[in-house]
Structure 1
Amino acid sequence: MTYAEALEKLASLGPEVRTGRAADGGAGMPPRKFSLDHIRVLLAELGSPETSFPSVLVAGTNGKGSTTATLASIAAHAGLKTGWYTSPHLLRVNERIHVSDGAKLVEIPDEAFGDAFGRAWSAAENLVSEGKLPHMPSFFEFFTATAFVYFAEQKIELAVLEVGLGGRLDATNAVEPIISVITDIGIDHTEFLGNTITEIAREKAGILRKDGVLVTLSQHQEANAAIGEVAMSLGVRGVDAARCLPPRSLMATGGIADEYSPLPRNKYAVAIDGEPILVNSPLRGVHQQRNLALAIATALELRANHGFTQITNAAIEAGIRETVWPGRLEWIPARGGRAAMLLDVAHNPAGAWTLRDALSHLPESMPRTLLFSALHDKPIADLARVLFPLFDSSSSDPERKGDHVVLAPIQNVRAATVDELLAAAHELDVPAHGAPHVPAALKQAEDVTPRDGVIVVTGSIFLVAEIRALLMEEKVR
């Protein structure tokens, strides 16, 4: 199958997650009942590629992408043939599947994607025709199978896998991980995972295995209790990543700004068994210290108890330093007469609070424009309450008089309308302006923000993706 044909087949499957009014979008298919049965049948038909490599499986609400990006970079810099699977993508579907070439993680080539996806599609068609599957697998199941087929073909030595949704019934959970990692848990995807921290944590803990290994950090009391209950029932050995956190004096700051961004850079040393590991991460924000600690602790566990002796302290340092993970507090400097931009994929309340903390490190006098959008099924009112008041030009704060809020719908069947976004602003009495689409919103934000200001783009990964695509087009021209 060609790359173009693979993309067409993917598009025919409808939205990646179908919920609410998007349930009958795309291919007109209803929301799926989550189960591992179908992905297991498909993988078996493909020769069980997921059994050909050891895996680290990472679940959580926030931070799992940053953790996998850092850990995969560490493994690659250790000289391991590394596979990295993440989701969703920003610009191209290929971003979800990487294999290392030397120390560099490289996206799956178009031809290889078409070939691996084509194998998965043909296998699924055969299974449906034989009655072994009731229907074609989902968008994410196909993607997961494609990744595993490619990883097996590439003869990788370690796979670092980010769970897509939840954990217990996510397609990635078809592997038998040698280490399970759980990042911070918050309220998100309640229609699938539950309405409380306890319910969601239990779903995430579904990636644990009997007599397995869990790497995590203490967090919300309810999450700790739920994860601990599952871990104890399975005889799981817990690895506390707390020893990989920075000195307490740095945990509130993360470091100092540098020539690339006014946001503090996470630059510090942690002492492991009497030896220092120098952390110098391009991932900004105090919250990344927890993700970095999880990645470091997992790397140390791989080295100490799973035979990956190649993972030296030097490899850990280099992997952290060279991590690439765009759209996460990503600072784009001012260019021409236009303001700098800060791109962040915060799409749930916990992510919004993290962004709010990062914004507190910017100069109060810096003019700010919020360019915001969200999916209809996200907690828009909660996101607005956290972020919109920081850009309230009607507030009593004289520093905010020149601020703006610009709202626009994104290109997604689940997108909130401009009216829905404006209603959230009006509920808070925060002045806001609507735009018909993202390109118009970007132009409006650039027009009203002085060059010494910043445009903060957030609310959805799909908005960040559209903005990055526009910036890439601008760069090419």
Structure 2
Amino acid sequence: MSYAAAVDHLYALGHELAPATPNTPRRKFDLAHMRVLAGALGNPQISFPSVLIAGTNGKGSTAATLSSILTAAGYRTGLYTSPHLVRVNERIQIDGHDISDEDFARLYFHVDESARFLVDSGDLPYPPSFFEVLTAVGFLYFAGERAAQAEKTPVDIAILEVGLGGRLDATNIVDPILSVLTDIALDHQDYLGNTIAEITREKAGILRPGGTLITLPQHPEANQAIGEAAVTLNLRAINAANYIPRQTPGVPRHDLELHSHETATPLPANHYRVTIDGEPLEVNSPLSGHHQQRNIALAIAAAVELRNQGGYKLFLESNQSSYNISNAHIEAGIRNTQWPGRLELLTFSSGPSLLLDVAHNPAGAWTLRAAIAQLPEAQPRTLLFSCLRDKDLNEMAQILFPLFDPSSGDPERRKDHIVFAPIDNPRAARIEDLLAAAHTLDIPAHAAPHLAAALAQARAVTPANGLIIATGSVYLVGEIRRLAGEL
């Protein structure tokens, strides 16, 4: 079967978080079902060591950075993330390379055939979900089921980003050698709980008795819930705060040796020094934004722990004692991290630049707002925005829309605009709701029938020296990034 057929078949499964209808009730998550599927596939998830990363925001950036560090150290490293920006292959990578179309199609139909047999035999009550199928494909790929290799060889380690929550997430059938918790905030309350404490307890479901946790101090409710879990499970908790610079780097950009990725961003670079085991380590990350310092710190702490494992039981003889990760490997891995759509600047031969950021919830919107505060005040800006209707649209509007208000009386904002467009997703917010959110704040806004028209409109109203900021959803950023490639 072809790759196109595999992708079409996958999307026909529908999205786990799609709104319930009378004919399709909301899906219930159950790890027992994922274990049945994995068992029928030979339990590929036990073939390789893994690190499991959960949180509300920053888990993808942390996973990408840690994966890049391990690759720089010479280990074949699997990376499983979600969602994707443009192609589903992006979710499953080894050493920074997406799974091939051939391998994806072959493994997808292998999982699908096994799932259909399990449903027919009564071992599964219904077919696996979109995310469960992709997780199974990723596990098989990391276990060595690759067409290009005659001999089955697992990856040296896999970095796995949790999809939703943690306790009941399909990735949580692994036995991780490290668990990482990134920043936790309110999101997906329908599934995870209505308070930060409730959500944290769900995400802490990735922790293991006697295991190792890497995290950072954060919201007091989250800290308390994490602390309670740590005591109950008798695990070892590592605070990554030592790898955050003591103060925001104040070195002007022109005083630093610029690397190629730094010349393309209007935001201050994350270029600073930290200390590891008494030795200086230079952090020079292509991921912009002050918030990335926390994600980088978590990745550094995980790398340091992996190289000092001692008692961990690893499956591969070459890694029985520890991973050989030097400070130079950490520096190179951070420097070479690729994680598009996160304060990513695209420039063109003519017309305004485009800044992409997947701020998809209020916490992400606050992070983006902090980044916007670092931009030149006099630069004209256009906000290209849409979001999913299960997000807090009104709060995101209050955070972001006033920064683009041409009627505010601020002379620097007179040339600003806001453009809305619908997202091709069953959970998308309606244009009427987006316009209503702006109207409630008395901020002018315009609507376009689709994202291609919205991008064209934004480019038409934004001066050549201006900046279009596209944000509000991963789905919006992915499509805009694809469309920008055609400009």
Question: TM over 0.5: same fold?
Answer: yes
1:288 maps to what in 2?
292
Q: Secondary structure at the match of 1:331?
A: strand
1:374 and 1:410 in contact (8 A); partners too: yes
2:253 maps to what in 1?
256
2:69 and 2:330 in contact (8 A); partners too: yes
1:254 and 1:285 in contact (8 A); partners too: no
Change (3 A) 1:99 1:249: closer
- Pick from 398, 406, 427: which aligns with 1:385? 398
2:15 and 2:129 in contact (8 A); partners too: no
2:69 maps to what in 1?
74
2:37 and 2:115 in contact (8 A); partners too: yes
Shift of residue 16 of structure 1? 4.2
Structure 1 counterpart of 2:171, one-letter code: T
Q: Deviations over 1:119-173 (max 9, x none)?
A: 1111111111110000100000000000001110151010100000000000000
In structure 2, distance between residues paired with 1:4 and 1:431: 42
Q: Secondary structure at the match of 1:406?
A: strand
Matched, 1:196 2:195: yes
Matched, 1:454 2:449: no
1:33 maps to what in 2?
28
- Unaligned 5+ residue runs, structure 1? none
1:59 and 1:162 in contact (8 A); partners too: yes
Change (3 A) 1:302 1:118: same
In structure 1, distance between residues paired with 2:252 and 2:91: 30
- Pick from 95, 112, 126: which aligns with 1:121? 112
Q: Secondary structure at the match of 2:349?
A: coil
Q: Deviations over 1:303-349 (max 9, x none)?
A: 0114333211111110000000000000112x233101110000101
Change (3 A) 1:224 1:254: farther
1:233 maps to what in 2?
232
- Unaligned 5+ residue runs, structure 2? 145-152, 255-261, 313-320
1:111 maps to what in 2?
102
Q: Secondary structure at the match of 1:195?
A: coil
1:165 maps to what in 2?
164
1:94 maps to what in 2?
89
Q: Deviations over 1:24-49 (max 9, x none)?
A: 49xx6321111101100000010000
Structure 1 counterpart of 2:408, one-letter code: S
Q: Between Structure 1 and Structure 2, how many residues are aligned?
A: 462
2:16 and 2:27 in contact (8 A); partners too: no
Matched, 1:42 2:37: yes
* RMSD, aligned CA: 1.3
Shift of residue 255 of structure 1? 6.5
2:259 maps to what in 1?
none
1:254 and 1:264 in contact (8 A); partners too: no
Structure 2 counterpart of 1:310, one-letter code: N
Q: Secondary structure at the match of 1:259?
A: helix
Q: Deviations over 1:174-200 (max 9, x none)?
A: 101010000000010011001110000
Matched, 1:9 2:4: no
Structure 1 counterpart of 2:328, one-letter code: A
Shift of residue 249 of structure 1? 4.6
Q: Is the deviation greater in 229-238 or in 255-264?
A: 255-264
Percent identity (aligned): 58
In structure 1, distance between residues paired with 2:91 and 2:248: 36
Structure-1-length-normalised TM-score? 0.95
1:18 and 1:30 in contact (8 A); partners too: no
1:184 maps to what in 2?
183
Matched, 1:326 2:317: no
Q: Deviations over 1:56-82 (max 9, x none)?
A: 000000000000000000011111111
Structure 2 counterpart of 1:218, one-letter code: P
Q: Secondary structure at the match of 1:371?
A: strand
In structure 2, distance between residues paired with 1:148 and 1:24: 32
Q: Secondary structure at the match of 2:15?
A: coil
1:254 and 1:286 in contact (8 A); partners too: no
Structure 2 counterpart of 1:198, one-letter code: A
1:408 maps to what in 2?
421
